Amino acid sequence: MITSVILITAGLAGLVQINSIGVKQNEWPADQTTQRPIVDRDDGGGSSFEEDKPRNDRFADEMKRDNTADAYIIAYGGLVSYKNEARIRLSCIRDYLITAHNISRSRLKLIDGGYRPEVSVQLFVVKPEDPKPTAFPIVNRKAVQLRKPPKHVCGKHPKSLSPPQRRSLSPGE
């Protein structure tokens, strides 16, 4: 009985699909079928900026392969986040892609996606003819518990960063 209730609830949420063969878990909710991140299946959930650098490097390589494509980067704060965590992560990723990989700022489209259960970042390589990805927040801001931010949000001491990166760490940006 409990299994049936869970399956019905999950089916309504678009998380599982029931067919004549049995239950099959979908990879993506139905409303995001055309918005699959290109580079990695993982969405950077819970990773620090430093831990996420190899993923960002692979994303930059994908961007370099197609000079006509734009990068859409959607960051989400988690149920436990620090103030402006999604925006700060976007700023760190933007500055890293520009300085370390020479990706043009005009090709980077940054989206603060709101909140989800876990902190996450989605990376999309989008060709001009492709549909543009949109954010799908799940958690209401009122449910978010704020915590103290890490001392160095982009993983390095600010004195070791170049001037453009130091400027992006200001609270107003």
CATH architecture classification, 34-168? 2-Layer Sandwich (3.30)
pLDDT digit string, tens, across residues 33-87: 455 445 455 556 656 788 888 899 999 999 999 999 999 999 999 999 999 999 9
CA 34 to chain centre: 16
Burial of residue 92 (CB within 10 Å: 0-12, 13-18, 19+) is buried
Three-state secondary-structure class, residue 7: helix
| Local structure of residue 25 (DSSP, 8 states) | E
Write the CA distances from 88 to 32, 67, 128, integer angstroms.
Answer: 25, 26, 27
Q: Which tokens is 111 given?
A: 């989206």
* Number of other residues whose CB lies within 10 A of the CB of residue 43: 19
pTM score, whole prediction: 0.67
* C-alpha–C-alpha distance, residues 93 and 81, integer Å: 18
Q: How confident is the model at residue 171 (pLDDT cuts 50, 70, 90)?
A: very low
pLDDT digit string, tens, across residues 16-32: 333 334 433 444 444 44
What are the boundaries of each domain within the chain? 1-31, 34-168
- Which tens digits make up the pLDDT trace of 78-102? 999 999 999 999 999 999 999 999 9
